[in-house]
A and B are shown apart, each in its own frame.
Chain A
Amino acid sequence: MSRVNDVGGMEGFPPLVHEVDEPPFHADWEAHVFAMNRALIGRGIYNLDEFRDAVERMPAQQYLAASYYERWFHAISTLLVEKGVLAAAEMSDG
């Protein structure tokens, strides 16, 4: 399906931004998202292809506005609910 992630050859994106000596994660929560994804895939809750599919199914405008690990977290959250691991109602805090 032609999805917003499929950007090869597309015009209109901003110039590249180069960050010198960039750390692997810009915030702790990013590292936690990364590790959480590995753990869940490792446990067979979902596979890598299902994960990529979930990232791609993010609404286009939300996808483009989201940072890289924000997209990951959205995909993980989507899959946890779809796979029945967590209920949609428990996903929001408070």
Chain B
Amino acid sequence: MAERFTSGARVQTSRIDPPHHTRLPRYARGAVGVVIECEGVYPRADDRARGIDSTPEPVYAVQFAARDLFGEGDHTVTIALWQSYLTAVHKETR
């Protein structure tokens, strides 16, 4: 599967609370972060947990500002996220 995001890309995580095992932590749902790097291509945990065969996907290290996750904090949190958890965020153009 092709890598959709490059380092530095702004991405937003899914807001969905899926009815199954997933590796998108609740605290990071719907948050906007920056792709640090692609960590490789792996079968989705969500699918392997249910015995579903699926095409392995790129996983990205995505960095979030604590403020954007919790409303407070001066630190960052970097989370490893499967591509299907993410959508591109486009800067508004004038």
Contact = CB atoms under 8 A, between A and B. Distances in A.
- What is the predominant secondary structure among interface residues of chain B facing chain A? loop
Interface of B: 17-22, 25-28, 45, 48-51, 69-70
A6 interface: yes
A8 B18 CA distance: 17
B70 A56 contact: no
B22 A1 contact: yes
B49 A50 contact: yes
A32 interface: no
B25 A6 contact: yes
8 contacts: A1-B22, A9-B26, A9-B69, A47-B49, A50-B48, A50-B51, A53-B20, A53-B21
Given A8-B27, A9-B27, A9-B69, A1 B17 contact: yes
Interface residues on A, range: 10 to 19
Interface string A45-79: 00111101100100000000000000000000000
A1 B18 contact: yes
B26 A8 contact: yes
A52 B21 contact: yes
Contacts of B49: 47, 49-50, 52-53
Nearest to A48: B48
Nearest to A10: B27
